[in-house]
Structure 1
Amino acid sequence: MAAQDTELVGSLVQLMHKLQDLYAESSRPLGLTPQQAHLLCVLLAGPFGMTELSRIMSIERSSLTSMVDRLERRELVERLPDPADRRACRIGLSAAGTKLADQAHTTYTDRIAELTAALPATQRKAVVSAVGVIVGA
């Protein structure tokens, strides 16, 4: 790997760790683990089946089931009938879950906005462009 590639990769790894730390710091005061906050934020897009959630979140279905069980006991998520399959269910947010997911998302994005506030417009555009290429790959 070329030196400039090593520098880029190292910087991206540092950024990933920083964002993970921010996510943990943002979710902790809300009484959520980072994984629970992630699930709630994913569910803001609407109910999903367990298989789809497992794929989106990149976790084993058994771990997802345990997480959903814990959040359901807290009345943050609910199991809904799947209109396409009577044997399956979809996971959706309760009213309290929607409120907490919105709060988690806002807290996290506000923290990122604070960190990036000092970036000049040209650097902001460059970051947005680079992230678009990386995410789209």
Structure 2
Amino acid sequence: MAVNDHDLVAALGGLYREVNAFYGAIAREFGLTAQQIALLCLVQNQRPTFGELAAALGCDKTNITGMVDRLERRGYLARQPDPADRRVSRVAPTAAGVAIGEEIHAAIAGRLAATLPHVARIELAAAAADLVTALSDRGGSR
């Protein structure tokens, strides 16, 4: 199938809207926002700084501070001093944060499994990884 630039831009715009709506719906099921679940997913396997979270989520550090504060009050996150520089705080999930992160992941995976056949999910994962790599290599995500 031949795709022109207009079709690609339109498809990416539609994908952006639908992915945001998809994550928003799942977030609401957990009483969270889409950005909060994105932040929770980011801290599951790494301990980012506030600046790293801001860069990854495409927002200002002050927004991250507010999100971390709210998730910390709910018992999902904890601030930890950076071992190399005690002036820097890193963000880590608590046991409750790990648990809800796993529940969110299962909800997303379950919804995708119910929506797309296995082969389509494999192809989508590969295409999404290629797009992420291409955009990040060109500085598109930061």
| Fold equivalence (TM over 0.5) | yes
| TM-score w.r.t. length of structure 1 | 0.86
**Alpha-carbon distance in 2 for matches of 1:125, 1:85:** 41
- Tell me which protein shows more strand as a share of its residues: 1
Per-residue deviation, 1:20: 1.1
Q: 1:30-53: per-residue Cα shift (whole Å, max 9, x none)?
A: 111111111001111121111111
Tell me how large the CA RMSD over aligned residues is. Answer: 1.9
* Structure 1 segment 1-137 matched on structure 2, within 5 A: 4-117=4-117, 121=119, 126-137=123-134
Question: Runs of 5+ in structure 1 lacking a partner?
Answer: none
Question: Runs of 5+ in structure 2 lacking a partner?
Answer: 135-142
Per-residue deviation, 1:136: 1.7
Percent identical residues: 34
**Alpha-carbon distance in 2 for matches of 1:126, 1:72:** 37
**3-state SS, counterpart of residue 72 of structure 1:** helix
Q: Kindly name which structure, 1 or 2, has the bigger radius of gyration based on alpha carbons.
A: 1
User: How many aligned positions are there?
Assistant: 132
| TM-score w.r.t. length of structure 2 | 0.83
**Alpha-carbon distance in 2 for matches of 1:74, 1:124:** 33
Q: Does structure 2 conserve the Cα–Cα contact (< 8 Å) formed by 1:78 and 1:92?
A: yes
CA 108–124 in structure 1, closer or farther in 2 if over 3 Å, else same: closer
